[in-house]
Amino acid sequence: MVDPLSQRTDPLYQKDGQKHTHTSTITSIHALSSLPADTQSLFKPPPETEPYVLTTPSTIFHAQGGGQPSDVGTIFASDTTFHVHQVRKVDPAILHMGVFSPSDKKFEANGGEAEAEQKIDTSKRHLHSRIHTAGHVIGLAVAHLKTTGTIAPDVVDGKASHYPGAAFVEFSGLIPGDKKGEIQARVDEMVAADMDVKIHFWDEEKAKKECTGVMETLKGDEEDGVRVVEIGSEGSYPCGGTHVQRLKECGRVVLRNIKRQKGITKVSYEVQDA
Ligand SMILES: [Zn+2]
């Protein structure tokens, strides 16, 4: 029996965010209930059908992380569809949790023979990418306003969440509520300029030196280095998420509230169709 947690999954979405279908073999299939309790606890399975966990040598499904929700979609083989509900990374593996339909028919993990077709829900991916990229835009707008003296220099990017309906970026340090209009104006300028969004793989030293905010634990992959997203020439962040290719794709990025508590400023926002 293949231990699903020991198999490395190549995260294709990190190199090609526009790949929405992909053919690969299946490395392992396990009932979720047969996996260790701490692995089971990563998932909220749907109640009606027995959930399974699939691994593949490579995947286009974004695993939940960095504040971005996982992709949903399907993996199809042998007249059976596996509906992917949640995707989690348990290094080095990426686990796809979902249910089969028809539920009594499952395809087999076949040691690299038959192929299965992965398909992500592109509209959800695009929405997640818009919200996620908009979070970087707000971070860079704040960074810009630090250079003009509008915002205090000790304000630093913190954690973020990019869930639809609940998106926010946090900063350590205080941003007064009356700066909202100026942040919004800078965000609007950046989106109107339709800046491009590029992905780089930098070594750790370059990433530490050049990134605007080091939001995640900065640790490069042995082969590729640190994945960095750069927006126009405004700045860059180490990031494993998915992004739009140009800022106009975000639509209108609207700041909602600026709240301060215990030295942390939380800026909530949403994206609207332009
Ligand atoms: Zn990102």
CA dist., res. 71 & res. 60, Å (int): 9
Mean of per-residue pLDDT scores for the chain: 91
How many other CB atoms sit within 10 Å of the CB of residue 11?
18
- Ligand 1 centroid, distance to 193 Cα (angstroms): 19
Percentage above 70 pLDDT, the chain: 94
Domain boundaries, the chain: 4-120, 125-272
- CA terminus-to-terminus distance, the chain: 51
- Ligand 1 centroid, distance to 227 Cα (angstroms): 9
Contact predicate 238/216, CB 8 Å:
yes
CATH number of 4-120: 3.30.365.10, 2.40.30.130, 3.40.80.10, 3.30.420.40?
2.40.30.130
pLDDT over threshold 90, residue 274: no
- Ligand 1 centroid, distance to 240 Cα (angstroms): 6
- The pair phi, psi for residue 256, each rounded to 5°, is -100, -75
Which residue shows structure tokens 């913190």? 158
CA dist., res. 271 & res. 127, Å (int): 9
CA dist., res. 82 & res. 124, Å (int): 18
How confident is the model over 88-122, as pLDDT tens digits? 999 899 999 999 988 777 777 655 567 899 999 99
Average confidence (pLDDT) over 196-219: 83
Lowest model confidence (mean pLDDT) among 11-20, 110-119, 133-142, 254-263 = 110-119
Contact predicate 175/182, CB 8 Å:
no
CATH topology of domain 125-272: Threonyl-tRNA Synthetase; Chain A, domain 2 (3.30.980)
- pLDDT band at 2; cut points 50, 70, 90: low
Q: Which residues pair with 25 in a beta bridge?
A: none
Q: Which residues pair with 238 in a beta bridge?
A: 228
How confident is the model over 20-71, as pLDDT tens digits? 999 999 989 999 999 999 999 999 988 878 999 999 999 999 999 888 999 9
| DSSP assigned state of 271 | E
- Ligand 1 centroid, distance to 80 Cα (angstroms): 34
Average confidence (pLDDT) over 65-91: 93
| DSSP assigned state of 122 | H
- Ligand 1 centroid, distance to 197 Cα (angstroms): 10
Q: Which residues contact 215 (CB under 8 A, 6 or more apart)?
A: 66, 157, 158, 159, 160, 237, 238, 239
What pLDDT is recorded for position 133? 97
What pLDDT is recorded for position 228? 93
- Ligand 1 centroid, distance to 233 Cα (angstroms): 15
pLDDT over threshold 60, residue 216: no
